[in-house]
Amino acid sequence: MSPEVTYVLESLGTIAVFGGALWIATVGFRRLAFERARGPLEILARQPLDGRRAIYLVRVGKRVLVVGASDGALTRLGSTTLEAVRGELAGPAEEAGPPPRRGFRDALARALGRDKT
């Protein structure tokens, strides 16, 4: 083989080796990042209010926080227990007909303790 062909083949081999190493590193870092993201926090629900505002239900251990999010800040609006949220999501089981429609407003009012029923 001529020196030019050898040079091109060596260059392509080097690029392939470095490209493969970068790909393996990318996959490895993604797995590490997702493993670190697991912890005591979990977003249970998100209710967008407009393009830049939302309300989140965030589980922290056995507590559930109601968090308001806007452009500049996160604000804790209230908190409740995980059992209360699960009970709210399950709804009443005594009626045979379709369950009454409950919206996010009702769940938020119950979580903040402002329920009128």
pLDDT digits (tens, 9 = 90+) for 43-56: 888 899 988 899 99
Do 80 and 66 touch, CB atoms closer than 8 A?
Answer: yes
| Parts of the chain with a pLDDT under 50 | none
At 69-86, the pLDDT tens digits run 998 899 999 888 888 877
Q: pTM of the prediction?
A: 0.47
Give the C-alpha separation, 69 to 71, whole Å: 7
For position 4, what pLDDT does the model report?
92
Question: What spatial distance separates the first Cα and last Cα of the chain, rounded to whole Å?
Answer: 88
